[in-house]
Amino acid sequence: MAFFRSVSFSETMPAIQGAGVLLRAPQSSDHAEWADLREASRNFLTPWEPVWPSDDLTRGAFRRRIKRYADDQRNDLAYAFMIFRHEDNALVGGITLANVRRGVAQAGSIGYWIGEPFARKGYMTAAVRALIPFSFQSLRLHRLEAACIPDNAASVGLLESTGFIREGYARRYLCINGVWQDHLLFARIADDPA
Domain assignment of residue 185, yes or no = no
Domain assignment of residue 176, yes or no = no
Instruction: List the domain range (segments joined by +) for residue 52.
Output: 14-142
Measured CA angle at 182 (ends 177, 185), to 5 deg? 115
Task: State the DSSP string of 37-105.
Answer: HHHHTHHHHGGGSPPPPTTTTSHHHHHHHHHHHHHHHHTTS-EEEEEEETTT--EEEEEEEEEEE-TT-
Domain assignment of residue 100, yes or no = yes
- Residue 161's pLDDT is 97
Residue-wise pLDDT tens for the chain (194 aa)?
345 545 555 556 789 999 999 999 999 999 999 999 999 999 999 999 999 999 999 999 999 999 999 999 999 999 999 999 999 999 999 999 999 999 999 999 999 999 999 999 999 999 999 999 999 999 999 999 999 999 999 999 999 999 999 999 999 999 999 999 999 999 999 999 87
Domain assignment of residue 50, yes or no = yes
Domain count, the chain: 1
- Residue 47's pLDDT is 96
- Residue 194's pLDDT is 72
- The CATH number for 39's domain is 3.40.630.30
Domain assignment of residue 121, yes or no = yes
Classify residue 163 by burial, with Cβ atoms within 10 Å: 0-12, 13-18, 19+: middle
